[in-house]
Structure 1
Amino acid sequence: MKRVPEKYAELAAEQIISPELLNQIIQESIRTNAPIEDLLLAAGVPRHELLKALTGFYHLPFLEYDEGLLASSDVLALVDLEQLKKELWFPLLREGDEAHVIVSHPNDRKLCEHIKNRLRVGNLHLLVALPSDLIRLIENHQDVNPHFPPAAGRTPLARLRTWLADHRNLLAQHRTSLAKGRTGLAFVRTGVSFISIGLVLLRIFGVGYLIILEAALVALGLAMTVDGIRWYLP
């Protein structure tokens, strides 16, 4: 526990939180077993300042929760996601004898050895994250239903749903384009019919008292044909 005040000493030094309140939060964390980071956030410490303090203390890059962040399926097959929420670590990728892992307590040597054994690697590339972000990330990879594979997790399914929605929109655009073309062809067909009727009447009755009707039919037919062609063309 001696390390905890040192980890967040920068917050007090920069007057982001008073030393008295920091000590109270530390004691509350010990008493309730709640993560100190969650209590600091609840006390109004800005998230970016908290992450800055963590990365400065551990000398590791930090990582925030991102719904689009996905772990590889082969590495997920090696772990129990429910157990990871208790241990506060999450594997992203395994390459040969190395693994990229997000962890809340990078200085925990026992935990790091446990991670190596679990992932069957010799080297770890660690990133530090807040416990709340880690839990959200793990839950996004958990099964929606018992005994389902990791691909059935919330985030993979959400990405698949987004992909399907994009393709649905694309198909809807094609459907709209085809419907527009069909409407254009209907206009052309009707316009040609009006022109034909007008010309037939003109041929039968000639120029006479029906000339106004004949001219109107031909003019309307021409207008509908031109408009239909405009609708039909992409």
Structure 2
Amino acid sequence: MSTEPLRTDVNGPVGLVEIRRPHRRNAIDSAAATLLAEAVARLDADPGVTAIVLCGEGGDLSSGADTGEPAPDPAAVPWRETPHARLLRAVRTTALPVVAAVEGWALGLGLGLAGACTYAVAGSSARFGFPEARSGYFPMGAVPNVVRRVRPDVVLRWALTGRYFDTEEAAAHGLVTDAVPAGQALAAALDLAAALGSAPRHVVTEGMAWLRQWADHAARPLDEWSEARMTFEGPPARPPR
């Protein structure tokens, strides 16, 4: 079992960030979220890196926010200022393309993380879902990241039903950009990142600036509205009869 929650590596123009909490199916606690955001920022600032791959040890990208720690209280700390929100923002606003590699689970925050990446490569073994509705709340913090590639009504269906779905369905709706056989997601993601980063760095960052400009126009108001409404509160109590 890994002793460090994160591994980073640089191979030529490609930076790799690996979540290493397989005993929790790579669930992300506050400490891991902070380390992940910092790792993305470091690679973003490295002049030799032109693309980033994000993966999880053992194949699971992430089973979501780690429920082993208390949920943040939005009354004390707004969702936007939590480590998990900062992580999602760091990934979706980086100056470099980020490619997610998924073999197993990408649930809740993990699904939001896959959506925040520029591309998502998934093996046929991958499974996705927003299970938060089963716990009594809507995943307001994660869904805006997914709507960048998926129709809003499809995202809403996934979030309200809480069901799990496979790579074929995810690819049909654009969440997964590259579907590959089981066991090949990481290799394919590394190949894609190398191809994306083969252009001079200033060309890559200009291309990403163009993509962020579209995202800011299309989705940034939704990001801010959703972050302001994110809560972990259960259903309101029924008034006495």
The two structures have a TM-score, normalised by structure 1, of 0.22
User: Bigger relative contact order, structure 1 or 2, given CA contacts below 8 A and separation 6+?
Assistant: 2
| Structure (1 or 2) with the greater helix fraction | 1
Structure number with the higher strand fraction is 2
